Amino acid sequence: MVGIGVAAAALEEFEKLAPGKASITGGSEIANRPVTQYEFAQADAEFQAAKSWFYQTMDIVWNEIIAGREATAEQISDMRLACTHAARVCAKVTRKMQMLAGMTAIYTNNPFSRFVNDTNVVTQHAFMGDATLQNAGLVSFGLKPTPGYL
C-alpha cells in the first residue's frame, strides 16, 4: 500500500532530521524535547500496529486463495477494514511528522509536505471511506453489507 511506504519514509526522514534541527527561537534540538520523543514513539507504534494488521489480513486472504478456497466474508471485511485503518493511520502519522518538523515542513518543496499530500490522496479512495467502516460493522453483526463491499 502506498500509504504504508510513505508513512515509513516520513518516520525515517523525521528520525534523521530531529537530532540536528534546533528551533529558530534558540530552543533545544527537537529530538531532545520530551513532547517530540513521546509523539514520535506514539506515531511509530500506531504505524507499526496498523501495518502489521494490514499485512496479517492480507496474508490470511492470500493463503485462502492459494489453498484453493474462497475467503470468507469476515476475512474479506477484515482485510477491507485493515486497509482503511492503515490508510487513515498513515495519513495521521505523516501529518504528525510534518507538524513536529516545524515551519520548514509546510513548503511544497519539503518532503514532509509531499508525504502529507500523498497519504491524504490514499484516504480519498472510495474503498477507504466511511462506508467501509459501516459495512465492516454490518458484517461483524452478521448483517448483509452493501453490494460491492465483498
Instruction: Report how far apart, in Å, the C-alpha atoms of 47 and of each of 3, 65, 78, 94 are.
Output: 10, 27, 18, 10
Residue 93: other Cβ atoms inside 10 A: 30
pTM: 0.92
Q: Is 25 or 81 the better-scoring residue by pLDDT?
A: 81
Question: How far, in Å, CA of 30 to CA of 20, rounded?
Answer: 8
Question: How far, in Å, CA of 62 to CA of 66, rounded?
Answer: 6
Query: 123-137: per-residue pLDDT in tens?
Result: 999 888 899 999 999
Phi, psi at 5, each rounded to 5°:
-65, -40
Amino acid symbol at 91: A
**Per-residue pLDDT averaged across 46-71, rounded?**
98
Amino acid symbol at 37: Q
Cβ neighbors of 75 (< 8 A, separation 6 or more) are 57, 60, 61, 64
Sorted by where each starts, the structural domains of the chain and their CATH numbers stand as 2-140 (1.20.140.10)
Per-residue confidence (pLDDT) for residue 40, from 0 to 100: 98
Is 3 within 8 Å of 108 (Cβ atoms)? no
For 87, the grid coordinates are 490508510
Residue 122: other Cβ atoms inside 10 A: 22
Per-residue confidence (pLDDT) for residue 34, from 0 to 100: 96
Under the banding of pLDDT at 50, 70 and 90, the label for residue 27 is confident
